[in-house]
C-alpha cells in the first residue's frame, strides 16, 4: 500500500479547479521531486493534501487513512510534515520554542527530548542558536529551522515547498544535502517541490512533472532528464 495515494483529483480555490484529474502514488522510502513551471499547481497540490483547498472530485489517502477534505488541524496531527513555501517559522519565538512547537504531538517527554537531540545533531546551528529569535536567523538557518520543526513530529512523509527558493547556491546545496540525509538516514519519505529541477531530480528516486494542473510526466529522474520534450518545456530551468 502506498504511503500517499492521490486518485483522480480535481481541486482548487472557490469554484476554480487548478488541479485537473491528477493521480499519484508515493511509496514509503520514495524521494519524489515535484517540478513544473510557475503557476502549474505544485503548491496547490501540496495544500490540497493538507486539506487547505477545495476538493471537487477524487480521493487522497495517507498512511491508509482517507484524508480527502479532512480538517487541516487533524491532518497536521498525522505523521505528515509540511514545510510551506512562505511563513514557515514563528519569527517572534526562539529557535528552541519553534522546535518545541513542532514536537507537541509527541506525548512522551523522553521521546521528545530524543527527537530534539536528533534534530539538533542534524542541524548543529540550531543548537548554538537555540535562544535566538527565529526572525534574526539568516535565510539558510531559517529554512533549516523550518525543516527541523517539521521533523520534531517524527513525520513518515515530509513535504517541502521550494525550501531553497530564496537561498544562495552554496546554502541551497547544504540544505539539499541535509534533505538527502533525512531521507536516507532517518528513513523519512520525501516530496520536494523545486524550481531547480535538475538538482531536485539528481537527489530523487522519482520525478513528477506538473503542467497546468495535470501530471505531464512521471518517471525516474534519468528518464525525465533525457526527455527532450520535457527539457523544451522547462527551458531555463533544466538548462541551468
Ligand atoms: N489562494 C488562491 N486563490 C486563487 N487562486 C490561486 C490561489 N493560490 C494560487 N492560485 C492560482 O492557482 C494556480 C496555481 O498556483 P500554485 O501556487 O499552485 O502554482 P505553483 O506551481 O506552486 O507555482 P510557483 O512555482 O510559482 O510556486 C495559479 O494560477 C495561481 O494564480
Ligand atoms: Mg508554489
100-124 pLDDT, tens digit each:
999 999 999 999 999 999 999 999 9
Which grid coordinates belong to 21?
484529474
- Residue in the block written with cell 520554542: 97
Quote the ligand 1 centre to 39 CA distance (angstroms).
5
Q: Does the residue 178 lie in any domain? A: no
Q: Does the residue 177 lie in any domain? A: no
Q: What is the CATH number of the domain that holds 49?
A: 3.40.50.300
Instruction: Give the DSSP letter of residue 76.
Output: H
Q: Is residue 136 domain-shared with residue 195, that is, in the same domain? A: no
Q: Is residue 146 domain-shared with residue 161, that is, in the same domain? A: no
Q: Is residue 164 domain-shared with residue 148, that is, in the same domain? A: no
Q: Which residues pair with 4 in a beta bridge?
A: 26, 62
Instruction: Give the DSSP letter of residue 71.
Output: -
Is residue 22 within 8 A of residue 214, CB to CB? The reply is yes
Size of the chain, expressed as the number of residues it contains: 240
pLDDT reading at 132 higher than 90: yes
Q: Does the residue 121 lie in any domain? A: yes
Is residue 218 within 8 A of residue 26, CB to CB? The reply is no
Q: Is residue 164 domain-shared with residue 51, that is, in the same domain? A: yes
Q: Is residue 2 domain-shared with residue 40, that is, in the same domain? A: yes
Q: Which residues pair with 82 in a beta bridge?
A: 159
Residue whose CA lies nearest to ligand 1 atom number 6: 13
Task: Give me the sign of the Cα torsion angle 92, 97, 103, 107.
Answer: negative
Q: Does the residue 63 lie in any domain? A: yes
Beta carbons within 8 Å of 219's beta carbon, 6+ residues apart: 206, 207
Ligand 1, pocket residues at CB < 6 Å: 13, 18, 36, 38-44
Is residue 67 within 8 A of residue 4, CB to CB? The reply is no
Residue whose CA lies nearest to ligand 1 atom number 17: 43
Q: Is residue 54 domain-shared with residue 93, that is, in the same domain? A: no
Q: Is residue 58 domain-shared with residue 163, that is, in the same domain? A: yes
Quote the ligand 1 centre to 184 CA distance (angstroms).
31
Which grid coordinates belong to 226?
533525457
Atom of ligand 1 nearest to the CA of 47: 18
Atom of ligand 1 nearest to the CA of 41: 18
Q: Does the residue 180 lie in any domain? A: no
Alpha helices of 77-138 — where are they, by DSSP H?
95-102, 109-122, 124-128
- Residue in the block written with cell 520534450: 229
46-68 pLDDT, tens digit each:
999 999 999 999 999 999 999 99
Burial of 60 (0-12, 13-18, 19+ CB in 10 A): buried
Q: Is residue 238 domain-shared with residue 144, that is, in the same domain? A: no
Q: Is residue 163 domain-shared with residue 61, that is, in the same domain? A: yes
Domain carrying residue 92: 86-154
Q: Is residue 165 domain-shared with residue 126, that is, in the same domain? A: no
Q: Does the residue 28 lie in any domain? A: yes
Q: Is residue 116 domain-shared with residue 1, that is, in the same domain? A: no
Quote the ligand 2 centre to 117 CA distance (angstroms).
31
The pLDDT of residue 237 is 52
Q: How many domains does the chain have?
A: 2
What is the value of pTM for the model shown? 0.93
pLDDT reading at 238 higher than 80: no
The pLDDT of residue 87 is 80
Across the range 153-178, mean pLDDT stands at 95
Is residue 213 within 8 A of residue 206, CB to CB? The reply is no
Atom of ligand 1 nearest to the CA of 162: 27
Quote the ligand 1 centre to 190 CA distance (angstroms).
22
Q: Does the residue 18 lie in any domain? A: yes
pLDDT reading at 240 higher than 60: no
- DSSP, collapsed to helix, strand or coil, labels residue 204 as coil
Quote the ligand 1 centre to 146 CA distance (angstroms).
22
Q: Is residue 162 domain-shared with residue 228, that is, in the same domain? A: yes
Q: Does the residue 181 lie in any domain? A: no
Half-sphere exposure of 75 (CA within 13 A, CB side): 24
Amino acid at each position: 500500500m502506498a504511503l500517499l495515494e492521490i486518485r483522480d483529483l480535481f481541486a482548487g480555490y472557490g469554484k476554480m479547479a487548478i488541479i485537473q484529474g491528477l493521480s499519484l502514488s508515493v511509496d514509503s522510502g520514495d524521494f519524489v521531486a515535484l517540478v513544473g513551471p510557475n503557476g502549474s499547481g505544485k503548491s496547490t497540490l501540496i495544500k490540497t493534501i493538507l486539506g487547505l483547498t477545495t476538493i471537487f472530485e477524487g480521493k487522497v489517502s495517507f498512511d491508509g487513512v482517507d484524508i480527502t477534505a479532512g480538517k487541516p488541524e487533524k491532518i497536521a496531527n498525522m505523521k505528515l510534515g509540511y514545510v510551506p513555501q512562505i511563513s514557515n517559522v514563528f519569527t517572534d519565538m526562539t529557535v528552541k520554542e519553534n522546535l518545541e512547537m513542532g514536537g507537541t504531538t509527541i506525548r512522551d517527554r523522553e521521546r521528545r527530548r530524543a527527537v530534539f537531540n536528533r534534530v539538533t545533531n542534524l542541524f548543529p546551528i540550531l543548537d548554538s542558536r537555540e535562544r535566538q529569535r527565529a526572525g534574526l536567523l539568516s535565510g539558510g538557518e531559517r529554512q533549516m529551522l523550518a525543516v527541523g520543526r517539521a521533523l520534531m513530529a517524527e513525520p513518515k512523509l515530509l513535504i517541502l515547498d521550494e525550501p531553497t527558493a530564496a537561498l544562495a547556491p552554496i546554502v541551497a546545496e547544504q540544505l539539499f544535502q541535509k534533505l538527502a540525509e533525512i531521507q536516507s538516514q532517518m528513513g523519512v519519505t520525501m516530496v520536494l517541490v523545486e524550481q531547480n529541477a535538475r538538482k531536485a531530480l539528481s537527489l530523487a528516486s522519482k520525478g513528477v512533472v506538473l503542467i497546468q494542473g495535470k501530471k505531464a510526466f512521471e518517471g525516474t529522474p534519468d528518464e525525465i532528464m533525457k526527455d527532450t520534450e520535457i527539457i523544451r518545456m522547462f527551458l531555463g530551468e533544466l538548462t541551468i
